[in-house]
Structure 1
Amino acid sequence: MHTEHLVERNPRVSGHELLDGFRPSERFGEVSFDTYRPDPSQPSQAEAVEKLKAFAAGVGGGQSSGNGFFSKLFGGGGGQKGTSAQGIYLDGGFGVGKTHLLASLWHAVPGPKAFGTFVEYTNLVGALTFRHTVEALKDYKLVCIDEFELDDPGDTVLMSRLMRELADAGVKLAATSNTLPGSLGEGRFAAQDFQREIQVLSSQFDVVRIDGEDYRHRGLPEAPQPLADDAALEAAAEQAFSGKTVAIDDFDALVEHLSRVHPSRYRALIEGLDAIVWRGVRTIDQQAVALRFVVLADRLYDKDLPILSTGVPFDQVFTEEMMAGGYQKKYYRAVSRLTALAREGGEAA
């Protein structure tokens, strides 16, 4: 077993390298509509597949030459009334396969196209500037936005402007979220003060509801408890990850290190690893730290990196107040994904 430490990594990623990475992660690198397994007891899942296939067939129909959806919305252009929305929006709970379906849509249509999480697009704007991001994406046929969230007013206005310009350029948009578009921002900031921007985001999507239970835990036993001590952790890691590259870190040092690495670089931070080992996982009690950790959890899940740990179980890594607050859906998603990775680590050990 070759060991490394995330706290010793400080990757540098250019804006163009970020753009090149806007494609489904390894976990969803070869999925398709045919590999999605709808739950027979949830007819909305099979219906979502058919709606997405129909949407895919309409992608790549050419530029709108200024008569796009947003031009009509704001009174510009000469298009006819009743034009269908420029995008499709998958709404549902955790683990119903929304990302699988979004990645399947991406694979099903011709390029150029982009696939990334909401936070990756905001990070791209920060790296390239808004105007260069628009220029980079405006000739794409499809832009997929996974885990759509509006966490602050700045993101609301930013994504409203970005999607307005992309849609007016004829780009088709597809998104997933655990929140209906009209409810984005609730509980995080004074959403009523930004109702126009939120309404712009909401109106452009045809909403497809997907019901069901979290497939990551469907019919499976509870996640394994963390190991008892460091000696047990080292023995389990040697057994489970022999011949692999593993990052071993103290949890406190790791979360402190995340404050010095921009979230846009978390994908590069874990590049080349096969597994994760954390000593002394504890409950995070600061919101800013917790939100950074959520991004890391998402990237670990993207790469399907099994986790072994000591300390508290992952359903206790966020405080009760956080799990009940405005960002609760982010935290529940992270707990679901970390639990799945801990289960993989436990099975390997």
Structure 2
Amino acid sequence: MAELALPAVVDDRDEVKFEPGPLNRSSTFYVAGHRGLVGSAIWRRLQSEGFADLVGRSSSDLDLKDREAVFAFFEEIKPRYVVLAAAKVGGILANSTYPVDFLSDNLRIQVNVLDAALKYGVERLLFLGSSCIYPKFAPQPIAEESLLTGHLEPTNDSYAIAKIAGIMQIQAIRRQYGLPWISAMPTNLYGPNDNFSPKGSHVLPALIRRYDEAAQSGAATVTNWGTGTPRREFLHVDDMAAACLHLLEHYDGPEQVNVGTGSDVTIREIAETIAEVVGFTGRTEWDTSKPDGTPQKLLDVSKLANAGWTSQVDLSDGLRSTVEWYREHITTIRE
């Protein structure tokens, strides 16, 4: 296939200067990755906010790594707004085992979607990354200015590099074409539609599944990786979705925006809380031969607060509702 030409198709939207404010609820809004943890939460939020023309495609219907298919899709639906929440994601084990996949797949997804959105005149786009873009030993809490100031955590550096490339592409598009596209970097997310797979999940859903299975089986012990001392910040995905819409309607700047709660807990503390929630009364052991990952990852969320948004979902309440969701969907969750 011949390379598809850029820049964006010229239409009457190119003449409209964006100013932060309510998005048009009747305009076509494409959520890339609408069945995933983040994308499904954004979809629910947009529905509750009255967006009437939401578009999503499953990976079986549209492979975002297929450039020709992505361009054909954008030509067909011509969305006015886009949230790019689609990504290949996973925890320490998955990232350490398949670094090529995490780098290559995410780069292709991002470049294809962003190039197609540029060609077909998307007015407002939000690119979602991850807090792992920041250096392993960045000063805490981590400010947006810490990007590219130090070495990354080696267990997920391939994924982080892909997400950094996405931020750079958003900034380049803003400079070259003047489009008001933005980036947001969430902290550790959890909630409905998370990946609870033993081999592919992040720390919190992995702990929920591990402790719940132990509680159901009557196991005497649960063994977790590392020392339990690293500190992590956790944000409920419904909060993340609310923040995304808020940013789309209130923020316009080249710098990525951190999205989090502004507080953190140790892995040991979160494990103890989950054990209590699921009813596990046995003993927790720690396999210190396994890696801890980054010692602390707390985001500075002052930029987000200055834009008028703060988190609303309490961690203990969010954990209880997530455990309930997990138990209700245990037969259909991703493996």
TM-score normalised to the size of structure 1? Answer: 0.32
TM-score normalised to the size of structure 2? Answer: 0.33
* Higher RCO (CA < 8 A, seq sep 6+): 1
Greater helix share, 1 or 2? 1
